Amino acid sequence: MPQTKSNIVLTGMPAVGKSTIGVLLAKRLGLAFVDTDISLQTEQGQSLQALIRTHGLERFCDLEAAHILSLACQGTVIATGGSVVYREKAMRHLAAAGIIVYLEIDLASLEKRLSDIDARGVVVAPGQTLAALYAERQPLYRQAADVVVRASGVTPDQLAARVIERLAAP
């Protein structure tokens, strides 16, 4: 990877496996690992659910973007929060130093994995279904991605191998 693009940035829907795959990639490639959801919670001293409840969806997305903009990483696998794609400036910042990898999952698989959307601290409008959230976000992930890797029907190890394979491809 070129020096200026030494990060691997994982994007995708909640529960697609960004954090799990991120750790596996970091170990296999000898890179550092950052989970922006965890680092945001640590910085703010609250869970994602509490931050969303306290600040509302828009302000939460602003907090998340500000947190992303404060990152200055090299040689790092970055697992982003699923809502990072709502802030273009944050995505440009991540893309400046990293390859954006969209972990794409089909809706049926996502529904099986994401049984309690509220407990996960997901940015979802009141009354919005998972299907509607998926339809809203999928084009944003695709537009931002340098690489798209299918995440449905594979184990975490297989998905990490797929990502490495796609990153190595010319």
pLDDT at 114: 81
CA distances from 4 to 25, 26, 75 (A): 19, 18, 10
C-alpha–C-alpha distance, residues 161 and 42, integer Å:
30
Residues 57 and 133: beta-carbon distance below 8 Å? no
Q: What is the pLDDT of residues 34-45, one digit of tens each?
A: 999 999 999 999
- Among residues 160, 20, 35, 140, which one has the least CA distance to residue 88? 140
pLDDT at 1: 38
Q: What is the pLDDT of residues 56-102, one digit of tens each?
A: 989 999 999 999 999 999 999 999 998 999 999 999 999 999 999 99
Q: What is the pLDDT of residues 135-165, one digit of tens each?
A: 999 999 999 999 999 999 999 999 999 999 9
C-alpha–C-alpha distance, residues 154 and 99, integer Å:
22
- Among residues 67, 69, 78, 19, which one has the least CA distance to residue 43? 67
- Report all structural domains of the chain as residue ranges with CATH numbers, in order of start: 3-164 (3.40.50.300)
Task: Please enumerate, as own/partner, the contacts of 122-129 that have beta carbons within 8 Å and a separation of 24 or more.
Answer: 122/14, 122/82, 122/83, 123/52, 123/57, 123/60, 123/61, 123/81, 123/82, 123/83, 123/86, 124/57, 125/57
Note the pTM of the prediction, 2 decimals.
Answer: 0.93
**DSSP per-residue string spanning 4-60:** GG-EEEEE-STTSSHHHHHHHHHHHHT-EEEEHHHHHHHHHTS-HHHHHHHHHHHHH
pLDDT at 31: 97
